Amino acid sequence: MRILGIETSCDETAAAVIDDGRVIRSNIVASQLAAHERFGGVVPEIASRQHVLAIVGVTREAMRGDGYDWSDIGAIAVTRGPGLSGALLVGINFAKGLSLARRLPLLAVNHVEAHVYSVWLSGQIPTPPAPLLPMVALIVSGGHTELVLMLSPGHYRVLGRTLDDAAGEAFDKVGRLLGLPYPGGPSVERVARTLPQDIEPATLPRAWLPGTYDFSFSGLKTATLHMVSQSRGHARPPVDPASRGDTLAPLEPVQVAAIARGFQDSVVDVLATKLARAAKEFSARSVAVVGGVAANEALRAGVASVVDVDLHVPEPGLSTDNAAMIAAAAFFRPVTAGYDTDADPSLSWSDDATLSA
Ligand code: KG4
Ligand code: ZN
């Protein structure tokens, strides 16, 4: 079946046409990065307005692909949550309009669950999904950090989740602490790579939360903050000692690199170790790392070095938010929605009646 997917849960306006949950006919993403950059984070009101401006053009482009038109589309899939409520509403109401006008079924999708289905879009995966299952998936993005055991489409067990910040959020905050460009994740990774081989990364703590598959990054973030202040206090004195306010010296580039590497090492160590342990405990046939942070090479290498089953990591354009994964999820696990479907900003796996957490 050919499905048109629509995604507007955060700061990407996206539409995609996907065949049988696996074959990408079109995958259009309009990033709002430039609109939010100067604020150092996503501004919900701006996000909603940008979605309104972009959604028609993005969908038209997705429908402009070769060899298909509206008469070939079998359903419209849209993200119901979790996400920013105003942003979600744009996509949901747009999808309802399309569904009504084109007389097509409307399918509602959980955005976090959909990240897992990005694995089936790589083109190299067998269908049906059974050969990969059970699969342990690590979903790491700016809004989520969850470790999930997938037994079959629609049948999951959430093994652990973050108790505070999401992994990507921690990267973004540490990027800001280090004075790096937004978003922090790619910046921290880039700078960490510049650490000379003969210089040790900063030593930062790991929150193991023994006996659980949960995660916590707030202690690491605070430890990083202390290290930044300490390093700045010990750095060269400011050029103008009479300057008011922040009188500490800026960090030297090598100090920034050492802290970025130490922070990244800590995050990767905990994520990879817990993913590998879960894969063993639940006899997984494969593991997956999905979501924006999956773009991090150190994380991919760290996971590859500790798991002994197949590792699936979608290409970067499918790891970050996109509508292809929304259409894929709707194909493998269709949830029919009525016109009274509302956005659910805090939709969790267990809130959805058909999911078993
Ligand atoms: O999945 P995504 O596009 O949006 C959300 O659903 O949040 O993920 C974006 C997050 C941001 O926090 C960004 O800093 C992080 O993914 N990210 C990275 C990297 N690339 C993106 N984090 C670490 N290393 C990267 N290379
Ligand atoms: Zn996401």
Q: What is the spatial order of strands in the sheet that 155-161 belongs to?
A: 155-161, 145-152, 135-140, 286-290, 310-312
139 ligand 1 Cβ < 6 A = no
* Best of 320, 321, 325, 347 for a ligand 1 pocket test (most atoms within 8 Å of beta carbon): 320
Peptide bond into 314 cis (omega under 30): no
pLDDT at site 357: 37
322 ligand 1 Cβ < 6 A = no
Three-class SS state of 348: coil
**Tokens (6 digits) for 289:** 């790392």
Question: Which residues lie across from 106 on neighbouring strands?
Answer: 76
165 ligand 1 Cβ < 6 A = no
**Tokens (6 digits) for 20:** 């049988």
Nearest to 170 by CA among 292, 288, 44: 292
Contact assessment for residue 12 and residue 322, using Cβ atoms and an 8 Å cutoff: yes
Virtual CA dihedral for 298, 300, 301, 302, nearest 10 degrees? 80
From the CA of 300, which ligand is nearest? Answer: 1
Ligand 2 is a single-atom ion; what residues have CB below 5 A from it? 141, 321
The rounded distance, in Å, linking the Cα atoms of 211 and 222 is 23
From the CA of 41, which ligand is nearest? Answer: 1
Q: Give distance in angstroms: CA of 183 to centre of ligand 1.
A: 8
The rounded distance, in Å, linking the Cα atoms of 166 and 221 is 11
Q: pLDDT 10s per residue in the chain (357 long)?
A: 999 999 999 989 999 999 999 999 999 999 888 888 888 778 889 999 999 999 999 999 999 988 889 999 999 999 999 999 999 999 999 999 999 999 999 999 999 999 999 999 977 666 667 778 999 999 999 988 999 999 999 899 999 999 999 999 999 999 999 999 988 999 999 999 999 999 999 999 999 999 999 999 999 999 999 999 888 876 555 555 555 556 567 888 999 999 999 999 999 999 999 999 999 999 999 999 999 999 999 999 999 999 999 999 998 889 999 999 999 999 999 999 999 999 999 998 765 544 443
Helices marked H in the chain — which ranges?
33-37, 44-62, 85-102, 111-117, 167-177, 184-192, 218-233, 253-281, 297-306, 316-319, 324-332
pLDDT at site 8: 98
Question: What angle in degrees, to the nearest 10, is found between the helix axes of 85-102 and 44-62?
Answer: 30
Ligand 1 atom nearest to 143, measured from its CA: 7
Q: Which 8-state DSSP code applies to residue 336? A: B
DSSP per-residue letters across 314-331: --HHHHSS-SHHHHHHHH
Contacts of 305 (CB under 8 A, 6+ apart): 272
The rounded distance, in Å, linking the Cα atoms of 30 and 68 is 22
The rounded distance, in Å, linking the Cα atoms of 239 and 321 is 43
**Tokens (6 digits) for 337:** 């929605």
Q: Give distance in angstroms: CA of 160 to centre of ligand 2.
A: 17
The rounded distance, in Å, linking the Cα atoms of 257 and 260 is 5
pLDDT at site 352: 55
Report how far apart, in Å, the C-alpha atoms of 183 and of each of 41, 71, 312 are: 8, 40, 24
Virtual CA dihedral for 234, 240, 246, 249, nearest 10 degrees? -30
Q: Give distance in angstroms: CA of 80 to centre of ligand 2.
A: 13
Contact assessment for residue 187 and residue 175, using Cβ atoms and an 8 Å cutoff: yes
- The length of the chain is 357
